[in-house]
């Protein structure tokens, strides 16, 4: 049996908001496993959702760029917020993001080994460290590309704390330059920045996330003591609520909760005289 320390109880309380004694009981039942203890508290309705215990201490910026039918969002970290806000740091961060766009690397290691505009990205990063005077690192990135007729919309939130890319498909090339489409694209990107959806739609929810949530809802339903047939309906209902809250196109549109994001996009498409769908999105927040 693992020893349950005060620090472990404190961390679980910060993650869930549950009471001290309930956290201690959950940790004891989970034999000190923090993730399992969170699930136990959620099952008992004592934790609405797991929250990260503490915030990342790294500073930096997230950059989102689009060139043609490809876009990239990239997180570059440094030591202080003062440096992160300088034009020099921003220029280096944009350069690294352009390298992601140009090279389509598989991961950060591949990006550092690649070349952009005649220089190795790793060498450019080393130079940036010397020029800036702080340690820097490229922490994460995501790259999206759209095939056929469509466009990507970039968005930066909170002065570089969150970066978003949204990929749209449509039928008419002219839609890409239509102000109504551009406004809608920014609105959807802002929605993603604010709500951090799990996936685009119900079908794209990762299987491990889907299964994990369903197990929690089944356990919650079992706690009710109701017949199994009712328990199944309860669990299914909560799963549908999860989809509505966490799948982008099914979410309530933040600027008008009377319609979903999908309905908002469809309405704008009708105004323009085109068919528009959200094809994909990428979101990176500082500290991810």
Nearest to 62 by CA among 81, 42, 46, 76: 76
Average pLDDT over residues 278-288: 95
Residue 13 pLDDT greater than 90, yes or no: no
Average pLDDT over residues 176-189: 98
Instruction: Quote the pLDDT of residue 57.
Output: 37
Length of the chain: 288
Average pLDDT over residues 144-150: 96
**Is residue 247 within 8 Å of residue 201, measured between CB atoms?**
yes
Instruction: Quote the pLDDT of residue 53.
Output: 33
For residue 93 the two structure tokens come to 């961060």
- Residues 87-106 pLDDT 10s: 999 999 999 999 999 999 99
Q: What are phi and psi of 206, to 5 degrees?
A: -55, 140
- Residue 268 CA to residue 265 CA, distance in Å, equals 5
Banded model confidence at residue 178, pLDDT cuts 50, 70, 90: very high
- What's the pTM? 0.79
278 or 53, higher pLDDT: 278
- Residues 219-249 pLDDT 10s: 999 988 888 889 999 999 999 999 999 999 9
Domains contained in the chain, CATH given = 6-51 (1.10.8.10), 55-145 (3.30.479.20)
Average pLDDT over residues 129-152: 91
Nearest to 157 by CA among 50, 245, 254: 254
Instruction: Quote the pLDDT of residue 46.
Output: 65
Where helices occur in 106-178 by DSSP H, the ranges are 108-113, 121-132
- Residues 200-222 pLDDT 10s: 999 999 999 999 999 999 999 99
| Average pLDDT along the chain | 91
Instruction: Quote the pLDDT of residue 227.
Output: 87
Instruction: Quote the pLDDT of residue 47.
Output: 58
Instruction: Quote the pLDDT of residue 54.
Output: 35
- Residues 45-65 pLDDT 10s: 665 444 433 333 369 999 999
Banded model confidence at residue 18, pLDDT cuts 50, 70, 90: confident
Give the percent of the chain with pLDDT over 90. 74
Instruction: Quote the pLDDT of residue 288.
Output: 81
């Amino acid at each position: 049996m693992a020893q349950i320390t005060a620090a472990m109880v404190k961390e679980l309380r910060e993650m869930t908001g549950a009471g001290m004694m309930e956290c201690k009981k959950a940790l004891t039942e989970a034999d000190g496993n923090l993730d399992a203890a969170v699930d136990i508290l959620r099952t008992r309705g004592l934790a609405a959702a797991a929250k990260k215990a503490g915030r990342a201490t790294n500073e930096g910026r997230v950059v989102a760029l689009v060139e043609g039918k490809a876009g990239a969002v990239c997180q570059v970290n440094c030591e202080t917020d003062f440096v992160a806000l300088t034009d020099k740091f921003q220029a280096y961060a944009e350069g690294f993001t352009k390298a992601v766009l140009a090279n389509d690397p598989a991961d950060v290691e591949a990006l550092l080994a690649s070349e952009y505009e005649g220089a190795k990205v790793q060498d450019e990063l080393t130079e940036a460290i010397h020029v800036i005077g702080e340690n820097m690192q490229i922490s994460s990135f995501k790259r999206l590309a759209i095939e056929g007729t469509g466009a990507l919309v970039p968005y930066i939130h909170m002065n570089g704390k969150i970066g978003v890319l949204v990929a749209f498909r449509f039928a008419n090339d002219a839609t890409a330059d239509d102000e109504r489409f551009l406004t809608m694209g920014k609105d959807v990107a802002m929605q993603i920045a604010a709500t951090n959806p799990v996936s685009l739609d119900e079908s794209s929810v990762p299987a491990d996330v889907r299964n994990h949530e369903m197990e929690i809802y089944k356990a919650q339903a079992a706690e009710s003591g109701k017949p199994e047939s009712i328990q199944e309906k309860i669990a299914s209902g909560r799963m549908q609520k999860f989809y509505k809250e966490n799948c982008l196109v099914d979410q309530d549109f933040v600027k008008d909760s009377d319609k979903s994001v999908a309905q908002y996009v469809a309405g704008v498409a009708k105004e323009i005289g085109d068919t528009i769908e959200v094809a994909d999105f990428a979101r990176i927040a500082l500290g991810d």
